[in-house]
Chains A and B, each alone.
Chain A
Amino acid sequence: MHYVRPNSIEEAVDLAAKDNAFILAGGSDLLVRMKGDFVDPDLIIDIKAIKGLGDIRETDGGFSIGAAVPCAALGEHAALKSAWPGVVEAANLIGSKQVQGRCTIAGNLCNASPAADSVPALVAADAQAVIIGPSGKRTVAVQSIPTGPGKTSLAAGEIVESIELANRPARSSDAYLRFIPRSEMDIAVVSAAVNLTLDSSGVIETARVALGAVAATVLLVTEAADAIVGTKLDADALDKLAAACSAASKPIADKRGTVEYRKKVAGVLARRAAEIAYKRAGGQ
Chain B
Amino acid sequence: MSGIAVTTTINGDTVEFLCQAEETLLDVLRNRLGMTGAKEGCGTGDCGACSVVVDGRLVCSCLVLGAEAEGRKIETIEGIADGDTLHPLQEKFIEHAALQCGVCTPGFLVAAKDLLERNPDPTEEEIRFGLAGNLCRCTGYDKIVRAVQDAAKEMRGA
* B62 touches A (CB below 8 Å): yes
The stretch that binds A, out of B52-60, B76-84, B139-147, is B52-60
- The answer to whether B60 touches A99 (Cβ under 8 A) is yes
Most buried by B among A70, A101, A184: A101
A6 is an interface residue with CB less than 8 A from chain B: no
A44 CB contact (under 8 Å) in B21, B54, B114: B21
Contacts of A52 in B (CB 8 A): none
Q: Is B44 touching A70 in the complex (CB atoms < 8 A)?
A: no
A34 within 8 A of B: yes
Stretch binding the partner chain, chosen from B9-17, B94-102, B128-136, B149-157: B128-136
A-B contact count (CB 8 A): 86
- Residues 45-82 of A at the B interface (beta carbon under 8 Å): 46, 48, 70, 72
B68 within 8 A of A: yes
Number of interface residues of B (CB under 8 A): 32
Contacts of B130 in A (CB 8 A): 97
Determine whether the beta carbon of B22 is less than 8 Å from that of A1: yes
Contact status A98-B43, CB under 8 Å: no
Provide the A90-116 mask, 1 if CB < 8 A to any CB of B, else 0.
000001111101100000000000000
Question: A98 to B44, Cβ gap below 8 A?
Answer: no
A101 B58 Cβ-Cβ under 8 A: yes
Q: Report the minimal beta-carbon distance from B109 to chain A, rounded to whole angstroms.
A: 13
- B138 interfacial contact with A, CB 8 Å: no
**Chain B residues within an 8 Å CB radius of A26:** 63
Inter-subunit contact A3/B67 (CB<8 Å): yes
Q: Counting chain B CB atoms within 10 Å of each CB, which of A1, A98, A183 scores highest?
A: A98
B21 touches A102 (CB 8 A): no
Bound complex: CA of A184 vs CA of B54, how far in Å?
23
In the complex, the chain A residue whose C-beta lies closest to that of B4 is A3
Q: Are B24 and A31 in contact (CB under 8 A)?
A: yes
Q: Mark A25-54, 1 if CB is under 8 A from B, else 0.
A: 011100110111000000010101000000
**B132:A185 contact, CB within 8 angstroms:** yes
List A contacts of B104 (CB < 8 A): none
Judge whether B22 and A98 touch: CB under 8 Å.
no
- Cα distance A66–B39 in the bound complex, in angstroms: 32
Indicate which residue in B68, B115, B129, B133 contacts A48 across the interface (CB closer than 8 Å): B68
* Other-chain contact of B111, A2, A24, A48, A97 (Cβ < 8 Å): A97
Indicate with 1 or 0, residue by residue over B36-64, a CB within 8 angstroms of chain A CB atoms: 00000001111010010010011110111
Is A137 an interface residue, CB under 8 A from the partner?
no
Interface residues of A (CB under 8 A from B): 1-3, 5, 24, 26-28, 31-32, 34-36, 44, 46, 48, 70, 72, 95-99, 101-102, 183-185
14 A–B contact pairs at CB < 8 A?
A3-B65, A5-B67, A31-B63, A46-B67, A96-B48, A96-B132, A97-B132, A97-B133, A98-B45, A98-B51, A98-B133, A99-B60, A102-B64, A184-B132
Interchain residue pairs A-B with the least CB separation, the first 10: A96-B133, A101-B57, A3-B21, A184-B132, A101-B59, A98-B133, A98-B60, A3-B67, A1-B21, A32-B44
